[in-house]
Structures are given as structure tokens and as C-alpha cells.
């Protein structure tokens, strides 16, 4: 479990409706990289899937209030999914 980082707040799959509807959660890479709760909320993700995005998107600056979270983040493929999750983890 040390390979995983926990999300600060769980994200339910329904929040990513379009991605879910298009079968994004059926992707084997995503299934093997994410830990879900019993009700379908995303609880944790493999560190190596989000760490580079965490750094490149400067999430630590957003977390401290120096930058703003981008509006209208579109999640439509595997890469955008992990970029989105990077905003909700704490890697330090």
C-alpha cells in the first residue's frame, strides 16, 4: 500500500460522469492504479501515476493559495484522469 497516495478528499465516480459514461473506469490501467471504496469513490492512486503531474502542475502552490485550481478541467482520457487526480493528493 506504500506505492499508493491517498486523496485528500475522496472523489466519487459520478463526479466524473462523462468519463464514467465513456467507459473510462473499465480501462485496465486505471482499474489497476486506483483504489475504490465500497460505494465507488476514488480513495487512493499509485504514486507513480500522479507524481510528475503533481510537480508540473505546481499543486503545492495551489494548496497554499498562491495559484488557483484551473476551471473546467476536462477528464476524457487516461492522461487527463491522472492529471485531475494529481490535484487531490498530497505528495511531499
- Exposure string for 63-92, b = 16+ CB within 10 A, e = fewer: eeeeeeeeeeeebeeeeebbbbbbbbbeee
Q: How many helices (H) and strands (E) does the chain have?
A: 5, 3
- Classified as helix, coil or strand, 15 is helix
pLDDT at 23 over 80: no
pLDDT band at 1 (very low <50, low <70, confident <90, very high): low
Residues 40-92 have pLDDT tens digits of: 899 999 999 999 999 999 998 998 899 998 988 888 889 999 999 999 998 87
Amino acid at each position: 500500500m506504500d506505492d499508493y497516495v491517498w486523496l485528500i478528499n475522496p472523489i466519487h465516480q459520478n463526479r466524473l460522469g462523462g468519463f464514467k459514461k465513456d467507459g473510462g473506469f473499465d480501462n485496465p490501467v486505471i482499474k489497476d492504479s486506483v483504489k475504490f471504496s465500497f460505494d465507488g469513490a476514488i480513495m487512493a492512486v499509485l504514486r507513480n501515476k500522479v507524481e510528475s503531474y503533481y510537480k508540473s502542475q505546481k499543486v503545492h502552490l495551489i494548496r497554499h493559495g498562491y495559484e488557483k485550481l484551473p476551471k473546467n478541467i476536462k477528464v476524457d482520457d487516461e492522461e487527463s484522469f491522472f492529471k485531475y487526480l494529481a490535484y487531490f493528493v498530497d505528495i511531499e
